[in-house]
Amino acid sequence: MKNKNERIIFITKAIGISFSISLLLFLIYFFYLRPIHLEFSVVNSLNYTQKKISFDSIQIKKNDLIILSDSRLLELDLDYLNTINLSIGGETSKTLNNRIKNYDFQDSSLIILSIGLNDLLFSYNEKNTRKNLKNLLDHLCSKTQHSDVFICKILPINVDGFFFDMEEVNNNISSLNLFFDTICLKNNNRKKVINFGDLIYSNQSLKTEYTYDGIHFNKKGIEKLKSMLVKEITHE
């Protein structure tokens, strides 16, 4: 009986230790390794590599309108001026900042920037995300002397994920959008913030009629974004 009880105690302790180690490893991955892992997976994917090579060869001409975003705006074409959409799925503010080093924006007339959601979904901490976004905007303005930069406020999501909670993500989105306002107030008038309030419910979640999965826009959502962007750009 004594040996049996000792075995039970040993097994119970072993299970407890195994659980504690597993939990510790999960927390290390979630808070430290997951952003690095996801970023590495994106920039080394075949899709990202092929698009980057293709975009690197594009010659940006005078009065071109440039779109820089992630998978949310992949299908966006404004039919206004000559639109060049340089968006890639999975892009973050950090990876985009690294990628645009190869681009010459001097002759472009407008740049539309919509980035930041993947930073939150990839679990980047807020301090690093703000730093990356500021570096990206400073980099963009340093590469353009005459272009207006339209910064799209990050639209919220309407779905929970295994690694993220919708309400938490949307709260962080609201915080980053306020950060965009602050940046634009402190800097030159070539930066303009665009708010897409018509696509959002009063509880600050994305309206279901504009999305097919709670994150990405359906055809109706893209058309709504398009009309709102053209209105902002043309001041109509």
Q: How far is CA 225 from the centre of its chain?
A: 16
Instruction: With cut-offs at 50, 70 and 90, classify the pLDDT of residue 59.
Output: confident
Cβ(163)–Cβ(130) below 8 Å: no
Q: Please check the confidence at residue 216 and state whether its pLDDT lies above 80.
A: yes
Query: CA 229, CA 226: separation in Å to the nearest integer?
Result: 5
Query: CA 118, CA 68: separation in Å to the nearest integer?
Result: 14
pLDDT digits (tens, 9 = 90+) for 190-205: 688 899 999 999 889 9
Residue 37 has a pLDDT of 76
pLDDT digits (tens, 9 = 90+) for 149-199: 899 999 999 998 766 789 999 999 999 999 998 887 665 666 888 999 999
Query: CA 115, CA 70: separation in Å to the nearest integer?
Result: 6
Largest CA distance in the chain: 87
Give all strands of the β-sheet with 191-194 in edge-to-edge order: 82-85, 64-69, 110-114, 148-152, 191-194
How far lies 50's CA from each of 53, 58, 96, 196, in Å?
5, 13, 15, 31
Residue 46 has a pLDDT of 94
Instruction: With cut-offs at 50, 70 and 90, classify the pLDDT of residue 146.
Output: confident
- In the beta sheet, which residues pair with residue 85? 67
Q: Please check the confidence at residue 1 and state whether its pLDDT lies above 60.
A: no
Q: Please check the confidence at residue 235 and state whether its pLDDT lies above 90.
A: no
Higher pLDDT, 164 or 72: 72
Residue 232 has a pLDDT of 87
pLDDT digits (tens, 9 = 90+) for 30-41: 666 667 777 888
Residue 2 has a pLDDT of 55
pLDDT digits (tens, 9 = 90+) for 93-140: 999 999 988 788 776 778 999 999 999 988 888 888 899 998 998 888
Instruction: With cut-offs at 50, 70 and 90, classify the pLDDT of residue 76.
Output: very high
Q: Give 110's contacts (C-beta < 8 A, 6+ positions apart).
A: 65, 66, 81, 147, 148, 150, 233
Higher pLDDT, 101 or 51: 51
Whole-model pTM: value is: 0.84
